[in-house]
Amino acid sequence: MAIQYQRENHLFTLNTKHTTYQMKVDALGFLLHLYYGARVSGSMEYLLTYYDRGFSGNPADAGNDRTYSLDVLPQEYPQAGAGDYRSAALVIRNADGSEYCDLRYVSHEIKRGKYALKGLPAVYAADDEAETLEITLEDPVGGVLVRLWYGVLEEDDIITRSAEIRNTGSDPICVEKASSACLDLISGDYDFISFYGRHAMERNFQRTPAAHGCQMIGSRRGTSSHQYNPAVILAEKHATEDAGSCYGMVFVYSGNFMCEVEQDQYGQTRALMGLHSDLFHYPLEKGEALVIPETILCHSADGFAGLSGRYHRCIRKHLCRGKYSHQPRPVLINSWEAAYFDFSGETICRLAREAAELGIDMVVMDDGWFGKRNDDNSGLGDWQVNEEKLGCTLGELVRQVNAAGVKFGIWIEPEMVSKDSDVYRQHPDWAVQIPGRKPVLSRNQLVLDFSREDVRNHVFDQICKVLDQGNIEYVKWDMNRSITDIYSAEREQGKVTYDYVLGVYDFLEKLIRRYPDLLIEGCSGGGGRFDAGMLYYTPQIWCSDNTDAVDRLRIQYGTSFFYPVSVVGSHVSAVPNHQTGRSVSLHTRGVVAMAGTFGYELDPETLSGGEKDEIRKQIACYRKYEALICSGDYYRLSDPFEDECAAWAFVSEDREQVLLNVVMQEIHGNMTVSYVRLKGLEADAVYRDMETGTAYYGSALMRAGIPMPVQMGEYLAYQKYFERVKEVE
């Protein structure tokens, strides 16, 4: 039993293979957090201390006990207004205008299997892989009932949390702020690690001390955003890549979110993950409920590597769905950087013929095939095939591509509308904008109100009509602006940001049901919606609009802290690179793109015969290592923000095969030698470099490392493949 309840002391213990999470209901009915970390035995209640603290008040039913204060005690789901002055997990505005909530324990239930969430993505597991704890708390005066859900995946060292807020009173209430997870850590000195960025430069690593005060990252953009990823780490001061205690919090949601880390007056650290409280006031009428998206928690006692490995497995096995979540993905060529808007059906057929010759599996027709869309100023929302531009019907084009022996994929941006489009001219009220105000334009487009079912249904029908025209096996689902001017004709305004995201999920769910074999790649100007929520619907996401192999080293490094390579869209593009003007070798571009769902983003016609040969070899190489790359364990071997080289490795689960990848970031006269240390090998086993034949002990490769060649040239890349030798020689 992963979840244990001890009736005598009202103690809940959640055990995974390596971790323990513990909480208890105290004499006053409050649900207190006791411990989360490396696995321990026994009750951790002794950690709670009670002192009379000035200016930290006492609940009425504590009587004369001035040592009992919610301002100091660690809690599972702290509410605002009732004596805890720290950042709250839940803020409720009552019908009388007061902001107050006082939740006490009512009951609990332990169930086999993992809970699911209505309308929201969530980790899933077989009934024998997970258990669920549901704890019900209530504020009878305010008429608020909260269900806290804990999902425990014992073998995977994963604990998920989610909550439902229900109005059980007769008056309306309003949810002003709600988190799904609160981690109240009684002791320890922590750093807060987050992943910030911007369009075309996402997920940079940032580590700051969790000092007194409250640090917050989040998004008010309607999507999870390029600017901050909804996944963070709380690391003990001395935790490193390979050692020390750290906690991960990954939000399974694709809209506005907020993560706060606060060190309180007594040095205790609180971390909250939930919906952003700005642009959000969710009214609940009598009987109505709001579900708060899930947070995936994980603790590692072995540094960030341990944390990442667990998240990678969890996302691959328990979040991505569908045929492709466990199958090789097609190597694709995308028309975007090859032709932008300037293509015809013949261009796509030519790409397909070239693809067939090179060994590429699929051609993707990107933006520009519909409506009046020859640049990015018009046409979005008019999902009618521009047969004049293509020179044939879509069905005919797909047939021709398939006849060349290549699969066909297509780009869509269902949530968007151009002002210059027929659909906007007919239904201006379908766009998110405030009556009487001129909306902010971004890329000259507006956002469709996906919180409205009628709007979604219209777009869904249009998209299905497109997909039904031929054998379309892949869709790239884009979303190319942040949301502003939030307003919906159909609902209370404070609901729109949340209902919009649920509308997107609803659309995606319907699409998956109707086309179960379709591979959907998520995208939002590259990685602007690169989150665990989207991964439930789209098992891969275009990682960044920046295809420069050198910038990608950092972007993919940051991405790797939570997300497995099997979900990271990564392509070889032309040089000079279109985003940076930098030129690096085809080999280096290939090595970097192989740390993802491999593909191409260039026009093969511009390549020399030699380059085409190299691409053929590159694809053969990817195919050879594909299983190792996509389902092996991924190890970061250097920090590309700091080190001379960027290095990473894939190690098969049985530790028989190892693929080492290195890109040299620095070159100087009389260059020093870089030694790369491998990880995750069997120390006593012998591994042979399959190219040179040299054999090394795993311990040597891990402890002393392997010298990288000193060679002239910028950004040279090396790929070394090792196999475990059966007999020690």
Give the x/- contact pattern for ligand GLA in 573-602, rule: CB under 6 A: ------------------------------
∠ CA 480-484-488, nearest 5°, is 110
Of 226, 225, 245, give the one whose Cα is nearest residue 235: 245
Q: Please, what is the minimum distance in Å from the beta carbon of residue 538 to ligand GLA?
A: 13
Q: HSE of 198 in the Cβ direction (CA atoms, 13 Å)?
A: 0
- 611 belongs to the catalytic site: yes
> Based on CB atoms, which residue is closest to ligand GLA, 94 or 544?
544
Kindly give, in sequence order, each residue whose CB lies less than 8 Å from that of residue 357, ignoring residues fewer than 6 positions away: 604, 612
Kindly compute the dihedral angle of the four CA atoms of residues 534, 538, 540, 542, in this order, to the nearest 10 degrees: -70
Q: Does 545 bind ligand GLA (CB under 6 A)?
A: yes
- 288 belongs to the catalytic site: no
Q: Please, what is the minimum distance in Å from the beta carbon of residue 431 to ligand GLA?
A: 18
> Based on CB atoms, which residue is closest to ligand GLA, 86 or 226?
226
Of 696, 687, 689, give the one whose Cα is nearest residue 726: 687
> Based on CB atoms, which residue is closest to ligand GLA, 308 or 482?
482
Q: Please, what is the minimum distance in Å from the beta carbon of residue 546 to ligand GLA?
A: 10
Tokens of 36: 């989360």
Give the x/- contact pattern for ligand GLA in 438-477, rule: CB under 6 A: ----------------------------------------
Tokens of 119: 């309308």
Catalytic residue among 139, 361, 531, 548: 531
> Based on CB atoms, which residue is closest to ligand GLA, 257 or 336?
336
- Number of amino acids touching ligand GLA (CB under 6 A): 12
Q: Please, what is the minimum distance in Å from the beta carbon of residue 476 to ligand GLA?
A: 6
> Based on CB atoms, which residue is closest to ligand GLA, 547 or 618?
547
Distance CA 272, CA 74 (A): 13
Q: Please, what is the minimum distance in Å from the beta carbon of residue 483 to ligand GLA?
A: 16
Tokens of 704: 């002393």
Of 400, 424, 429, 506, give the one whose Cα is nearest residue 460: 506
Q: Please, what is the minimum distance in Å from the beta carbon of residue 370 to ligand GLA?
A: 12
Catalytic residue among 242, 611, 626, 643: 611
* Residue 364 to residues 328, 401, 658, 715, Cα–Cα distance (Å): 17, 10, 32, 29
For ligand GLA, the binding residues in 290-349 under the rule CB under 6 A are 336
Kindly give, in sequence order, each residue whose CB lies less than 8 Å from that of residue 265, ignoring residues fewer than 6 positions away: 212
Q: Please, what is the minimum distance in Å from the beta carbon of residue 542 to ligand GLA?
A: 6
Distance CA 651, CA 255 (A): 34
**From the CA atom positions of the chain, what is the Rg in Å?**
27
> Based on CB atoms, which residue is closest to ligand GLA, 45 or 376?
376
> Based on CB atoms, which residue is closest to ligand GLA, 261 or 472?
472
628 within 8 A of 650, measured Cβ to Cβ: yes
Burial class of residue 407 (count of CB atoms within 10 Å of its CB; 0-12, 13-18, 19+): buried
Q: Please, what is the minimum distance in Å from the beta carbon of residue 70 to ligand GLA?
A: 46
Q: Please, what is the minimum distance in Å from the beta carbon of residue 577 to ligand GLA?
A: 14
Give the x/- contact pattern for ligand GLA in 708-727, rule: CB under 6 A: --------------------
Distance CA 430, CA 447 (A): 9
Burial class of residue 580 (count of CB atoms within 10 Å of its CB; 0-12, 13-18, 19+): middle
Give the type of residue at 310: R
Length of the chain, in residues: 729
Question: Residue from 542, 622, 625, 715 that binds ligand GLA (CB under 6 A)?
Answer: 542
Question: Residue from 367, 382, 531, 551 that binds ligand GLA (CB under 6 A)?
Answer: 367
Q: Please, what is the minimum distance in Å from the beta carbon of residue 481 to ligand GLA?
A: 10
The DSSP letter of residue 370 is B
The closest residue (CB) to ligand GLA is 367
Give the x/- contact pattern for ligand GLA in 491-530, rule: CB under 6 A: --------------------------------x-xx----
> Based on CB atoms, which residue is closest to ligand GLA, 154 or 367?
367
127 within 8 A of 165, measured Cβ to Cβ: no
Task: State the residue for tokens 């030519």.
Answer: 350
Q: HEC string of 638-665?
A: CCCCCCCEEEEEEECCCCCEEEEEEEEC
3-state secondary structure (DSSP) of residue 705: coil
> Based on CB atoms, which residue is closest to ligand GLA, 376 or 626?
376
List strand residue ranges (DSSP E) for 7-68, in order: 11-15, 19-25, 31-38
Tokens of 170: 């007769």
For ligand GLA, the binding residues in 391-430 under the rule CB under 6 A are 411
> Based on CB atoms, which residue is closest to ligand GLA, 473 or 478?
478
Distance CA 127, CA 148 (A): 19
* Residue 102 to residues 85, 141, 244, 459, Cα–Cα distance (Å): 14, 8, 37, 44
Provide the binding-site residues for ligand GLA, judged by CB under 6 A. 336, 366-367, 376, 411, 478, 480, 523, 525-526, 542, 545
- Which are the catalytic amino acids? 531, 611
